[in-house]
Structure formats: structure tokens, C-alpha cells
Amino acid sequence: MNESPPVPLEPLYALADAELQERIAQAKAQLAERCLILGHHYQREEVYHFADLTGDSLKLSRLAAQRTSSQYIVFCGVHFMAEVADILSSPEQTVILPDLAAGCSMADMADLPHVQEAWQALSQVVDAEKVITPLTYVNSTADLKAFCGMHGGSVCTSSNAEKMLRWAFAQREKVLFFPDQHLGRNSSHRLGVPLAEMALWQPGLPNGGLSAEEIRRAKVLLWDGYCSVHTMFQPAHVALFRQRIPGIQVIVHPECAFEVCQLADDRGSTEQIQERVRSAPAGSKWAIGTELNLVNRLKREMPDKEIHFLCPTVCMCSTMFRIDLAHLCWVMENLQQGYVVNPIRVPEREATAARVALQRMLQVV
Ligand code: 13P
Ligand code: SF4
């Protein structure tokens, strides 16, 4: 990476959106096929507008693996998504994250030392390599995907968690699921695992806060991680909408708490929520429990439906929000001049093992 790119970032902050939009459009037109912009559904509207392809994390992972013709992939999403794109794209391609501070607070709740510590502690009680499949939510760092690759495990996304849990149970009798306890609990429950057979692993506590007996009894060990956006949705919000708007359908993301998912009519990934609401008849009424940018976009797109945000307060993914027009303009104009800023490069050893875990997922779903 060049130390000082020809286009500095700071002056771009002073520009009006219209000017930034014009400059991004120019750079995009000039880079043409060489540059692919991917956009996650939670991106702010003005950035989402420039995405060549949009999707949930599974769809974007697949697209990154398929689009070998683009030399640059500008990923308007968060850090773990760009890492997956780097792992699955070809070595000739470069993945760029417009703002390196666009992380995921849930992904930060599990790190390799703590997961290794958990694996060792579990191995004192059971033969972990024989009886536990490690399964990481895609919202995790590349080294945790590599850990799963090396220990017979895999990766899941919010759209395939049940399928991947079924796969994991077909390999070994127990699952260590990290970092999102809610996705793990909701999906395991739908497969028929009773709550009594799920145990919460609290990293940092001796034996994750569990007795040897609790570990032996558990079918699923759930890492104590969560999304601070999706845990804002409460059962009372569902009750309030049902009381206020008869006939309303409630659809939520499976990162929401178990009680909220139980009360909802339906659940799904960002792509699945979008498809479900789009395919509903005009006049249908919806309360949606996922990030605000997506819900507002659906509202604008479908004025013939009554769409509400499930929470009375603003729940936004503040890290996704860091990708703004100034950062997009900055990376695009530098690319135009042959400078790569903010490349995401997963070290090869780590990428190789993580690819094993990701490919196991892509073969199943
Ligand atoms: P999706 O897989 O539904 O896009 O979810 C990603 C995410 O981070 C939700 O918070
Ligand atoms: Fe991470 Fe939550 Fe943001 Fe999704 S919404 S990227 S889980 S912090």
C-alpha cells in the first residue's frame, strides 16, 4: 500500500453530498469493469445507491467468490465481510474496505485466545475433537474461521444457520457456537434442541462458568455474544404493535432475543426479510425487527404496504454507518489514480484454513 495516497481524505469531508456523488460516479465510470462495489443491506442509502450488487452476508460471500473478473472489490459493509471476500476471491483481486473502523461489535466479542482457551477447557471434560463441532457465525474474525477449518468445523450465516447446525450435528454430537448466542439459540431450538440442552459459555470465567456436568449435558454450547442493535428489540414492542395494529405481521432477524423470535410471525436474514415483504400483497402490514436503514428502504420502496420499525428508539449499526460518501469517494478516486487504500488482506496461512471452513458451508447451502 502506498503511504500517502494522492487523494487525501480530510478535504472530502467539507464537500456537499452532491459533489461527492458526482466524483464517485466519475471514478466508477472510469474504473468500469475493473471495480465491483458490493453493498450490504444496512448501508446508508447514499452509499447503497452506488453498489453494483447488494445482499445479505451469504449472498455477498457468494458474489465475492464468483466475480473473478473485477480487479478491485470495494466492500461497503463491515470488516468481517471484507475478510470473507478476500478469502474467497482470487489472489489477483484486491478487496477494499472504505473505512477500516467499520467493524462489528458482535464479532469483537469472541477472539482466538478465548476460543482456544474454551476448546482446551472443554477438552478436559469431553474429547472435544471427537464430540464437538465448532461452528462460527460469519460475523467473526478470519482467525476464528480458520480455527473452525482446523477443527472439523464450519461457518454459518443468518440465512443458513439451521442447515449448518444440522450439518454440524451430523459430524459430531455437540456444537460450540460462537459468537452470537441468540442466532445459536434460535436456530438450535428450531431444530428441536430444548433450551435445557443449551448452555451459555461465558468467556473469561473458569470453564465458561459451567460445571463439568453442565458441559456433558449440553448439546449446544452458546458463546455469550450478541448484537447490540438486534437486542434492542423487546417482546413488549411486538405486543404493542399487535395491540395497536390488528393483522400486523412481525418479522425479525434471528440475532434478536429468543423471546422476541418466539413472538414474531417470521424470521430471516436481511435478504430473506426483504424478499418476504416484497412478495407480500399490497395493503399488508409489517413490523420489522432489523436495522433501521433496511427498514426505511423497504418503506420507501413499498408505499402500498404499511411498514413499521419494530423498536420505538433508533437502532442502527453505527459501524456500518461509518462507510459514508467521503470514504467511498476517497477509495474510488485513489483507485482511479492507481493507489489502493484500505486493502483487506488476510494472512495466507489463516486464509487457507478459513477457506476450508467457508467452503464446507458453501457446499452445504
Ligand atoms: P445478514 O446475514 O442477514 O446480512 O446479517 C448480517 C448482520 O450482521 C446482521 O446484523
Ligand atoms: Fe454486527 Fe450487529 Fe452491526 Fe450486524 S448489526 S454488523 S451483528 S453490530
Nearest ligand to the C-alpha atom of residue 292: 2
Task: Mean pLDDT check: name the lowest of 54-68, 87-101, 222-236.
Answer: 54-68
Is pLDDT of 315 > 90? no
Q: Is 255 in the pocket of ligand 1 (CB under 6 A)?
A: yes
Contact status, residue 198 vs residue 222, Cβ threshold 8 Å: yes
Q: Is 109 in the pocket of ligand 2 (CB under 6 A)?
A: no
- What ligand 1 atom has the least distance to the C-alpha of 55? 4
Q: Which residue's alpha carbon is at the smallest distance from atom 8 of ligand 1?
A: 139
pLDDT at 3: 61
Q: Would you mind telling me the total number of residues written for the chain in this entry?
A: 365
Q: What distance lies between CA 72 and its chain's CA centroid?
A: 21
Nearest ligand to the C-alpha atom of residue 253: 1
Q: Please provide residue 23's backbone torsions phi and psi, each rounded to the nearest 5 degrees.
A: -70, -40
In the chain, what are the helix, strand and coil shares in percent, each to the nearest 5? 50, 15, 35
Task: Give the orientation angle of helix 79-88 with respect to helix 348-364, to 10 degrees.
Answer: 90
pLDDT at 62: 86
Q: Is 291 in the pocket of ligand 2 (CB under 6 A)?
A: yes
Question: Ligand 2 center to residue 232 CA distance, Å?
Answer: 12
Q: Is 256 in the pocket of ligand 2 (CB under 6 A)?
A: no
User: For 321-338, what is the mean pLDDT?
Assistant: 97
Question: Ligand 2 center to residue 105 CA distance, Å?
Answer: 7
Do you find a cis peptide bond into 254, omega within 30 degrees of 0? no
Cβ contacts of 145 within 8 Å, gap of 6 or more: 84, 87, 136, 138, 155, 353, 354, 357, 358
Residues 245-254 have pLDDT tens digits of 999 999 999 9
What average pLDDT does the chain have? 96
Question: Ligand 2 center to residue 317 CA distance, Å?
Answer: 6
Cβ contacts of 194 within 8 Å, gap of 6 or more: none
The SS3 assignment for 239 reads: helix
pLDDT at 69: 86
Residue 277 C-alpha cell reads as 415483504
Question: Ligand 2 center to residue 78 CA distance, Å?
Answer: 8
Q: Is 61 in the pocket of ligand 1 (CB under 6 A)?
A: no
**Higher-confidence position of 17 and 314:** 17
User: For 162-182, what is the mean pLDDT?
Assistant: 98
Q: Is 88 in the pocket of ligand 2 (CB under 6 A)?
A: no
Is pLDDT of 1 > 50? no
Question: Ligand 1 center to residue 26 CA distance, Å?
Answer: 30
Q: Is 57 in the pocket of ligand 1 (CB under 6 A)?
A: yes
Q: Which helix (H) or strand (E) holds 176?
A: strand 174-178
Q: Which helix (H) or strand (E) holds 207?
A: none
pLDDT at 250: 98
Residues 182-198 have pLDDT tens digits of 999 999 999 999 999 99
Q: Which residue's alpha carbon is at the smallest distance from atom 3 of ligand 2?
A: 317
Residues 286-296 have pLDDT tens digits of 999 999 999 99
pLDDT at 64: 83
- What ligand 2 atom has the least distance to the C-alpha of 107? 1
Q: Is 160 in the pocket of ligand 1 (CB under 6 A)?
A: no
Is pLDDT of 2 > 70? no
User: For 343-348, what is the mean pLDDT?
Assistant: 98
Domains and their CATH numbers in the chain: 10-102+320-346 (3.40.50.10800), 107-226 (3.40.50), 230-309 (3.40.50.10800)
Task: Give residue for cell 395491540.
Answer: 243
Taking residue 301's Cβ as centre, other Cβ atoms within 10 Å add up to: 13
Task: Mean pLDDT check: name the lowest of 52-56, 197-201, 234-238, 313-317.
Answer: 313-317
Q: Is 320 in the pocket of ligand 2 (CB under 6 A)?
A: yes
Question: Ligand 2 center to residue 31 CA distance, Å?
Answer: 30
Q: Is 227 in the pocket of ligand 1 (CB under 6 A)?
A: yes
Contact status, residue 139 vs residue 180, Cβ threshold 8 Å: yes
Q: What percent of the chain has pLDDT over 70?
A: 99
CA distance 355 to 189: 28
Q: Is 56 in the pocket of ligand 1 (CB under 6 A)?
A: yes
Q: Which residue's alpha carbon is at the smallest distance from atom 7 of ligand 2?
A: 227
Q: What percent of the chain has pLDDT over 90?
A: 94
CA distance 94 to 74: 8
CA distance 208 to 220: 13
Taking residue 359's Cβ as centre, other Cβ atoms within 10 Å add up to: 16
Q: Is 293 in the pocket of ligand 1 (CB under 6 A)?
A: no
CA distance 27 to 129: 50
Question: Ligand 1 center to residue 230 CA distance, Å?
Answer: 10
